[in-house]
Amino acid sequence: MVALVEKTQKRLTIEVKDIATDTTAVRSLDWDRDRFDIEFGLQNGTTYNSFLIRGEKIALVDTSHEKFRQLYLDTLKGLINLTDIDYLIISHTEPDHSGLVKDMLQLAPEITVVGSKVAIQFLENLVHTPFKRQIVKNADKLDLGNGHELEFVIAPNLHWPDTIFTFDHKTETLYTCDAFGLHYCSDATFDEDLEAISPDYKYYYECLMAPNSRSVLSALKRMGELKKITTIATGHGPLLHHNVEELVQRYRTWSQTQAKAETSVGIFYVSEYGASDRLAQALANGITKTGVAVEMVDLGIAPDLQELRELVSRVAGIIIGMPPASEDANIQGALGTILGSANPKQAIGIFETGGGNDEPTYPLLNKFRALGLHVGFPVIEIRETPTENKYKLCEEAGTDLAQWVTRDKSIKAMKSLGADLDKALGRISGGLYIITAKKNDVQSAMLASWVMQASFKPLGFSVAVAKDRAIESLMQVGDKFVLNVLEEGNYQVLMKHFLKRFAPGADRFQGIRTQSAENGTPILADALAYMECEVASRLDAGDHWIVYCTVYAGKVSKPEGMTAVHHRKVGNHY
Ligand code: FEO
């Protein structure tokens, strides 16, 4: 019981730390956050960072997640009389940073809320009572006195359309909210341990920023106009101070690579600051897994129609996130422009959130079909709060569409290797295995052949998994899965079943006999043997991940059975 209490107490803690002259960080530490969300894969918890800057006037940058309500507000009250705060700067309105804005306005009604136009509009709907506001544009300044001149940088799409950065000229600190952050909770306020944070930093970039690589490059350009940045005060994880140059450069390199990708898919949707954004993000994630770039456009903020036309004619695939039937002339105009610029070589996909049963998704899809576009995935309609399975379905749909738009390139690559080398490589053999994995309510499976034992102490093996496999997101460091070994002479049924192309979100285990592993992962009843394993590390190997796992349980059903072997003719594709 005592241990349980200690664990509960440890779950939500708060850190107060002076990080620069007149500047205090109030970091809400969420040690155990492990929600199944595309961006929470690495299981290291997260933090929500808020900052107090005291010049002659006082500004608070962002608040916290509502789960920290009591802890955060009590801590803040211990630092300052809340009514002494002059400005509340909203970097971005997602609830993990602005969950306590309403409380702040109730406790300090004279506070002036500072944010982008979009952020203030969103807050009006959230707060429902009048509040003082100051809308800021790029390069606008706010002087707090005592040298704390704040300069704002507009950074749309990092990670929602309303984002601004704030630069304090006195402390050379840039407040960036989601950008340059990571979901990593530890006692370290800063980034001393670069090696420890690097995997999460990259994973976070891939999930949240890669689909907006052009926006990242624009923000970096605007940041370049500021004087030296000594500290990047992020909204999640440790603040960047010891490795600012290196970590900013990583964003630049990754974004340039993304932006240069030959093939891209446009996601055109109406941001609702909630489900539709996350679904669009899941689709984007599925697309970027294949090496195809994504460009996201919020139709709700009236995009320039000429730019929209140019973008639509450049992309290889179009995904449209339909708002509930909208009379908004801007949205209708944008949809008309997309239709007018689409071409028959493209793929189309449509998803819809909210709304009733009479939504115009199918008529819209039919218009694209009539233009000759290929339907990349069946219409996704989400009427209720999306479940984990719906996010996974969207990810798989994104991958399917992206694989279709790159199909010619894949075939060309298969043919490009020299015939001899091709055949020689094909003589590397492997066994036949089915990997099964489950994470919360989502489960998946895949046929694997590139498996080999890799260590005795601990008992471990490696498996290579193509980056665009659906199961890949269930095989992050710390995830558990099962390796099922197929039996020589008795593998055809299982192999045929799992080689099938499954529709996005389809149940891979329908009609298959299974039992459950410790964590609920299906074990194939007709396999020769199985091992329960945990992912220890992953190595980037071009178009595959090499996943190294340790084994902690296993059984053989037939002691005399032999493992099925996979003999191939060529080595440049499966
Ligand atoms: Fe950390 Fe986009 O909120």
3-state class of 125 per DSSP?
A: helix
The helix (run of H) or strand (run of E) holding residue 224 is helix 213-224
Q: How far apart are CA 136 and CA 134, in angstroms?
A: 6
The pairs formed by 95-98 with CB atoms below 8 angstroms and a separation of 24 or more are: 95/65, 95/66, 96/48, 96/64, 96/65, 96/235, 96/236, 97/48, 97/50, 97/62, 97/63, 97/64, 97/65, 97/177, 97/235, 98/62, 98/63, 98/123, 98/126
What is the Å distance from ligand 1's center to 159 Cα? Answer: 6
Among protein residues, the one whose CA lies closest to atom 1 of ligand 1: 178
Question: 560: burial class by Cβ within 10 Å (0-12, 13-18, 19+)?
Answer: exposed
Instruction: Report the separation in Å between the CA atom of 91 and the middle of ligand 1, taken as the mean of its atom positions.
Output: 10
**The tokens of 421 are what?**
């080398």
Expressed in angstroms and rounded, the spacing between residue 471 Cα and the centre of ligand 1 is 25
Span from the CA of 326 to the centroid of ligand 1 (angstroms)? 26
Supply the pLDDT for residue 160.
Answer: 81
- Residue 73: helix, strand or coil by DSSP? helix
Q: What pTM was computed for the model?
A: 0.82
Minimum-distance ligand 1 atom for the alpha carbon of 177: 1
What pLDDT score does 349 carry? 97
The predicted structure's pLDDT at residue 471: 93
574 residues of the chain, pLDDT tens digit each:
333 334 444 589 999 999 999 999 999 999 887 654 555 555 788 999 999 999 999 999 999 999 999 999 999 999 999 999 999 999 999 888 998 999 999 999 999 999 999 899 889 888 888 999 999 999 999 999 999 999 999 998 888 888 999 999 999 999 999 999 999 999 999 999 999 999 889 989 988 898 888 899 999 999 999 889 999 999 999 999 999 999 999 999 999 988 888 899 999 998 776 778 888 989 998 998 898 999 888 888 777 899 999 999 999 999 999 866 667 788 888 999 999 999 999 999 999 887 665 557 888 999 999 999 999 999 998 888 888 888 899 999 999 999 999 987 777 766 666 678 888 988 888 899 999 999 888 999 999 999 999 999 999 999 999 999 989 989 988 899 999 999 999 999 999 999 988 999 999 999 999 999 987 999 999 999 999 999 999 998 989 999 999 999 999 999 899 999 988 888 877 7
Ligand 1: centre distance to CA 156 (Å): 13
For 329-341, letters b (16+ CB in 10 Å) and e give eebeebbebbbeb
Question: What 8-state DSSP symbol labels residue 262?
Answer: S
Domains of the chain (ranges, CATH numbers): 2-258 (3.60.15.10), 261-410 (3.40.50.360), 419-566 (2.30.110.10)
Q: What atom of ligand 1 comes closest to residue 94's alpha carbon?
A: 3
- Ligand 1 surroundings by CB, under 6 angstroms: 92, 94, 96-97, 159-160, 178, 235-236
**pLDDT, position 11:** 86
Residue with CA nearest ligand 1 atom 3: 94
State the amino acid at position 256 in one-letter form.
Q
Alpha-carbon gap, residue 571 to 574, rounded angstroms: 7
Residue 296 contacts by C-beta under 8 Å, 6 or more apart in sequence? 157, 211, 212, 266, 267, 269, 280, 284
